[in-house]
Each structure stands twice: as structure tokens, then as C-alpha cells.
Amino acid sequence: MNALLDIDAMSVHFKVGGGLLKRGQVLRAVENVTLRIEENETVALVGESGSGKTTLGRVVAGLADPSAGAVRYRGGAVRPAGKVQMIFQDPFSALDPRMLVADIVAEPLRLLGVDAQERRERARALIEQVRLPADAGDRYPHEFSGGQRQRIAIARALVADPELVVADEPLSALDVSIQSQVLNLIAELRETRKLAMLFISHDLGVVHHLADRVAVLYLGRLVEVAKRDDLFARPSHPYTRALLDAAPRIGPRRVPGAGLSLRGEIPSPINPPSGCVFHTRCPKATDLCRTTAPALEPAPGRPVQWAACHHKE
């Protein structure tokens, strides 16, 4: 049976630098990622800044092309128009300041060829559903707070009735005081509209609240994929363990042996380390890790929890 979305051995590379007389370098933003998202499932994508999360999300949303591999929607190479939408991180730059809010929300429908009357009706229904003031459609983005602007962006993402929404750090640009309100709105809309989501976040508390499964990305590579509760209770990869140990205590108590800390900074994706790309920061690294890249495989005794580590637990 086909998943809603399949990412198959997908890589995204960018050429940087160079010119007429010298060859540019290759930035490996995403490298050989395979992941699937089922109907009505929320998969959280976590990792440090620079890990490739946003790039992967943009490819899933159809805003960028992979350099290798494929993204398949219900088994097909072509995604039906409007069925995958994206909520961007910054609600201040994501909305056209010259457009009325009703026109912003209705823009995906215009691109789909929906007539003006239906666009207006559906836009106003979404504006009401995200709990904006009744007159919001007749105003401009600058008249709203950050939280309200993100609600506008959410309405725009949902107006075409997508089946999958890519949410790229939708809370990080908001005041802490309103993050929970927007998070609860996203969770409510996900349930009522039966949405699948790729939820990109660095906030593990939010991930624990919202995700069904978690995919951990490091330097463009998937290093662990697991059900949410399994990952929080017993992470298999040292990088996942370090991320959890750096966060406030969340969810069930983890197994003894926690306390791993990361050494140094994330390496450059232009010149990634040989072997396992995490070995330069890993307290468990051995010579094998420095020479041979580990495959993403089930952890011992846990067939649905996969980790890319020679010493997975």
C-alpha cells in the first residue's frame, strides 16, 4: 500500500562559490534521505540549525527540486495541485504587505483557477476558523500581531484543502506567550481536517506534544526515525540522546546512561566528515565510525525504531 508521501533516497546539493576561473564547491544540504508519511500522520523533523530541515521541507512542498532521488505523492511522481502546502517560519516576511488578508488567504485558490466568488467564501470561512476578527479579510498584514499573522498564514495553507502540510518552525518567530495558542490551533485543525504534517522544529517540547513519529536529521542525513514515545523514552542514536539531554525533561523517564553532551560545532556541509558524519562530535566514536558510514537500520530488539549508528542501543 502506498504512503501519502514517500521520500526515496533524496539528496539536495547546491553549488557555491566559483566563477569563470575556478570551480565552485558543492554544499550537501540533504543526503540520501528516505522517509514516508502516512495519511493523517504527523512526522516531526528535528535537528540543529544547518541540518537541512528547511531544505527538505521545501522539496516536499514542491518549492525546490531534489538533486537525486524522488518524492512521490500517493505513489506518483506528480503531486496534485494544492494537495501539499507550506506554513513558513516568519509570518512577517511570508505575507505580501500590499494585499488584503482575504486576497492573501485566497491566493492558492486563484492559482488553482477557482472563481472569485468561491475564493471569497472559502477565504472568509478559513479566516473565521483560525479565530481572526470578522473584519480581518478587509485589512492589511501590518495591522496584525505576529501571532495573528501566523494565523493568516495557516489559513492560506489550508484554504485549498491540502492533505499534507509542511510546517517550518511555525512557532519560533512568535512571542512565548502566544506560542501555545498557535500550537493548539494547529493541533485542532490537524484533527478536524484530518491532515498529515511534516512538522519542522527544534523545540522538543512542541514535538512531544504534536508528533506521531520523529525523524532526526544531522548534517543532511537521517540518523534516527522512531515513534515519538519510543524515541523520547529510549533514544538509539547518540545524537538523539544528546539532543534530549540538552532539553528540559519531557515525557517518560529515559534509560540510565543519559548525560551525553555534544562536542564542538556541526561540521560544514561543504566538507562533511568521512565515515559517519557525526563521529567528530560523538563520545562513542571508534575507528570504524571514522571510515565507514553506517546504514539506517533497526535498533536491537526494536524493529520500528531505526538508527544510523555502528553502536546503536
* Rounded CA separation 279/273 (Å): 8
pTM: 0.92
pLDDT of residue 139: 97
- Domains, the chain, in order of start with CATH, read 5-83+162-307 (3.40.50.300)
472568509: which residue's cell?
A: 124
Q: Looking at this protein, which amino acid is placed at residue 87?
A: I
DSSP letters spanning 66-104? -SEEEEEETTBSSPPTTSEEEE-S-TTTSS-TTS-HHHH
pLDDT of residue 23: 73
pLDDT means per 10 residues, the chain with 313 residues, are 89 83 84 97 95 96 95 87 92 92 96 95 96 95 95 97 97 90 96 97 94 98 97 95 83 52 84 95 94 95 95 89
* Rounded CA separation 290/279 (Å): 6
pLDDT over 70, % of the chain: 94
The sign of the dihedral angle between the CA atoms of 127, 40, 3, 200 is: positive
Q: Looking at this protein, which amino acid is placed at residue 82?
A: G
